[in-house]
Amino acid sequence: MSDLSRRTFIGTTVGTTLAMAARAASDYRIIDSHVHTWRHDPEFPFAPGVNPNRDAAPETVLEHMKSNGVSKTVLIQMIHYKYDNRFLLHVLKQYPGTFRGVCRVDPLDAAAPDYLSKLTEEGIHGVRLSPGRGEAGDWIAGPLMPPLWKRCHELKVPMTVLAPIGRMPQLAQLMEPLPDLTLVIDHMADCPVDQPEELEKLIALKRYPNVFVKVSHTWSLSHQPYPWLDSQELVKRLHAAFGPQRLMWGTDWPIIEGKAQYSQALTVVRDDMKFLNAEDKAWMLSKTIERVWPFPA
């Protein structure tokens, strides 16, 4: 074989190998880890005093998924229904295999663990708690939490928490007796971009092997236009601390529509986080989410 032929052969082989590697890296289905859905329907009334001015129908979710190449979605119980999860269960039954559902239970109700068990039997895959910043959210450190977290552990369903960054040490206390519980922190704990030191409170949870973080509020936390480079700095630190195997993207649709588009929540991770490589994206857009919420093939 001549030198020219050899160089051509080697070049072709390397090019083919790189192309195959690129295809392999992108050979995954994109899954959205965080979407809300609701609809005005007398069969599924909203909580007293709640009357949203629009619907966020599951059919609209499916349209967004189709137009953005998203295969599966995790639905998070919308606070419009409070702790009545019937609409969520209805959607899961209406579109089997397309969605996973995360419920809400009343954190001030001692019967919440049993309610969670019942919902799990009906097809729910996890629970969400939302303690706020003020005194009204101090129940997260109260006596009703350990039984609920223990029940999550026994049921092998994830505990998902929307909480401000200042409450991360309280979550750590709840994790201490259950170090292998699956815990998902929503929206990077909404750490302010102008208080980057606060992110260490979330990073401290990395010592628990099954703590995952949703990279889902870059658009909300940022003080800049797309691609929200200031909040990307938070993502870089989370990536360095947790690794892509414990990070997941999500849109938070339709809440995102107040500031950005569904598609931008995807493209910011897939296309515009330049510090991520192809394997990172495979985890964050798909494989991490399937670790927590396995979907049927």
Reply yes or no on whether the pLDDT at 117 is more than 50. yes
Structure tokens at 284: 């964050």
Q: How far apart are CA 247 and CA 216, in angstroms?
A: 10
The answer, yes or no, to whether residue 234 has pLDDT greater than 90, is: yes
Q: What is the pLDDT of residue 26?
A: 59
CA 65 to chain centre: 15
Contact 57, 37 (CB under 8 A): yes
Mean pLDDT, residues 211-238 taken together: 98
Query: Residues 9-34: pLDDT tens digits?
Result: 334 343 443 334 333 445 899 999 99
Say what the pTM is: 0.91
Q: How far is CA 165 from the centre of its chain?
A: 16
Q: What is the pLDDT of residues 260-295, one digit of tens each?
A: 999 999 999 999 999 999 999 999 999 999 999 999
pLDDT of residue 27: 83
- Give the model confidence (pLDDT) of 131-149 as tens digits: 999 999 999 999 999 999 9
Q: Which residues, listed in sequence order, are joined to residue 31 by a DSSP beta bridge?
A: 72
pLDDT beyond 90 at 113: yes
The residue extents of the domains of the chain are: 29-292
Beta bridge partners of residue 101, listed in sequence order? 75
- Is the model's pLDDT at 7 over the cut of 70? no
Instruction: Report the chain's terminal Cα–Cα distance, integer Å.
Output: 47
pLDDT of residue 22: 39
Domain at 29-292: CATH code: 3.20.20.140
What's the whole-number average pLDDT of the chain?
93
Name the band, by pLDDT with cuts 50, 70 and 90, for residue 6.
Answer: very low
pLDDT score for 291: 97
pLDDT of the residue at 8: 36
Q: What's the rounded Cα separation, in Å, for the pair 65 and 63?
A: 5
Instruction: State how beta strands 159-161 and 70-76 pair.
Output: unpaired
- Nearest-angstrom CA–CA distance, 101 and 75: 5
Reported as a single tens digit per residue, the pLDDT across 64-82 is: 999 999 999 999 999 999 9
pLDDT of residue 297: 82
DSSP bridge partners of 86: none
